[in-house]
Structure 1
Amino acid sequence: MAVTYLLQVQTSIGRRDSGILKITTASGDPPSAIALLERYASLGCKDELEQVLVKGRDWCAEVLQSHASHPLLIYFRSLETRAGWPATLAALLDLAAVIEAIDEPKLRGKAILLREEGTNLADELSKLLRLDIDRPTTDREVLQQILERAARAGYGTPKPHGLERLASLRKRYAPTVEALSRHLGSPPAPLLPNDRGLSREELAQLT
């Protein structure tokens, strides 16, 4: 019985951390959605984002199933990266939310499914841990920078009210994921690489 349990734990952690490593390798440690989008664009493999969304949704479902069944898994740290699993979840949710806010019809449906699965993961585990959730607001200038950088990287332009849509989506999931990060003492996923907004001059240099 004990051996079987240990094997289940090892398998669950291995699957979780494999997803973390794939995201952090592509987008930094801790990861960010805009870094991932820019990385895929620079490598000429934007078409693979569909699979990132699909596999990200599968990852969220697997983590929820394993961590809700064996809550101790929540506290197991990833050895190969300083970013914990909440940061990977946040980056995936931000990725989905950004795609929903821009004109990318081919990716939109899969982004919605990922966002719903990831939000459910955050909600269920935060309830399990009985976490207090703060509701800070996100700087809209930072969100605007993200949409502008996505467009410059070759993705769709923001939809009408895209900024409002992105802010509304993040208001729903970001506080919960940040509470999970605080509870586990792991760094949150930055909206922008290095967790800071870029000045107008710095943004101009990216073009």
Structure 2
Amino acid sequence: MRTLALVCGLVLIFAILWDVFEAVILPRRVTRRLRLTNLFYSGGWVPWSNIARKMKLGRRREAMLSLFGPLSLLILLGIWAFCLILGYTLLFWGTNTVLNAGAEVVSFWTYLYLSGVTFFTLGYGDISPTSPVGRALAVIETANGFSLFALVISYLPVLYQSFSRREASISLLDARAGSPSSAVELLRRHRAENSFNDLNRLLTEWELWSAELLESHLSYPVLCYFRSQHDNQSWIRALTTILDTCSLLMLGLDDAPGWQARMTFAIARHAVVDIAQVLRTAPSPIQECAERLSSDDLHRMQEILAQNRVDLTIDEASEKRLEEFRKMYEPYVFALAKKLLMPLPPWILPEDAIDNWKTSAWGRLQ
């Protein structure tokens, strides 16, 4: 029995340390399915999101969903710590470590207490190992405890810096594309302000943003669950808006930065597909995605843009090209939006929509 406990302890410690290494240190996507972190997030998000689905749309539901990302970090840290403590407990018990415990009867729970005190470096001294093996295990466990918390302390700033950079660009999109953001509104506002040439610079910035999103969210998938400050904003909405915009520009609009639109579309689509793969989210059926832009909406979109001197020709050929562009990314953003409960942006901004920067707790600007 003690031999089995020794083996189980070694396996558990190695599995946890390797999981910490992959989740915190390794700067690349991990494709292996059987991971504690993956099991934790897939198993934890399902009941959490199911509860949220039963709530009414609004701030309370969004507030609950926004708790999952930060709270999951604390819970995952607790699971790592507990598993390491349990693993070293099995090693202490499996090696039958001799303890200086006074008159106390040594049991499995005594070893568990010793492991916990050692891991958190409390140093009470009421129970201590006296055998060479036990002392060596205590030193190693103390080093593991220090290392784990040092890694987490350095991990959190990196995580929140990536989150802040992501959200800064999303906030900047508010005045440019409306709230919620819309591809048609983005083009309309730039043409209305005679700033259509600025689209090249804007798309360049979003090309870099998409590349950073790809790198950060593949390395730290927990960022996918972090939500934006406003209910009508999200990284999925922003990314989809940029993909929609690039799709329209690639149809060949006058004065449109076609080359930059293709480059931004490529990296943004790459980000969507890879993030969907990391989250084990299969693309939605094409038929479901087709409902997002009806034929009537397409012609209405043409009218809105024409009123603002944006010449968008909608014929059979261009409509087919737009459909092909949409097929490249919409199945993935649909699936991600459904999984993460982040609605997709409209192609056309609703008439009653008000930009977030115009609203406050004390009123709205007209």
TM-score normalized with structure 2 length: 0.50
Matched position secondary structure for 2:250: helix
Change (3 A) 1:62 1:26: same
Is residue 84 of structure 2 the alignment partner of residue 84 of structure 1? no
Q: Which amino acid aligns with 1:143?
A: L
Conserved 8 A contact 2:249-2:256: no
SS at match of 1:191: coil
Counterpart in the other structure of 1:6: 156
Which residue of structure 1 aligns with residue 297 of structure 2?
142
Task: Provide the secondary structure at the position in 1 that maps to 2:300.
Answer: helix
The 8 Å contact of residues 190 and 196 in structure 2, kept in 1 or not, is answered as: yes
Give the AA of the match of 1:142: D
> Which residue of structure 2 lines up, in the alignment, with residue 199 of structure 1?
none
Distance 1:25 1:81 in 2: 16
How far did 1:95 drift?
Answer: 0.4
Query: How many residues are aligned here?
Result: 195
Larger Rg: 2
Q: Is the 8 A contact 1:143 1:167 kept in 2?
A: no
TM-score normalised to structure 1 length: 0.86
Q: Work out which of the residue numbers 172, 184, 205 in structure 2 matches 1:22.
A: 172
How far apart, in 1, do the equivalents of 2:199 and 2:264 lie? 12
| Gaps in structure 2 of 5+ consecutive residues | 1-150, 352-366
2 CA distance for matches of 1:13 and 1:175? 25
Tell me the residue number matched to 2:281: 131
Say what the alpha-carbon RMSD is for the aligned residues.
Answer: 1.9
Report the equivalent of 1:205: none
1:36-185, aligned counterparts within 5 Å?
36-80=186-230, 82-104=232-254, 106-134=256-284, 135=286, 136=288, 137=290, 138-158=293-313, 161-185=317-341
Q: Is the 8 A contact 2:207 2:264 kept in 1?
A: yes
1:131 offset after TM fit, Å?
1.1
**Which range is displaced more, 166-175 or 135-144?**
135-144
Task: Tell me if structure 1 keeps the 8 A contact 2:183–2:347.
Answer: yes
Deviation at 1:165, TM superposition (A): 1.1
Structure 2 CA distance for aligned equivalents of residues 55 and 150 of structure 1:
24
Further displaced range: 21-30 or 113-122? 21-30
Gap regions ≥5 residues in structure 1: 196-207
CA separation of 1:189 and 1:86: change in aligned 2, threshold 3 A:
same
| Matched-pair contact (CA < 8 Å) for 1:84–1:181 | no
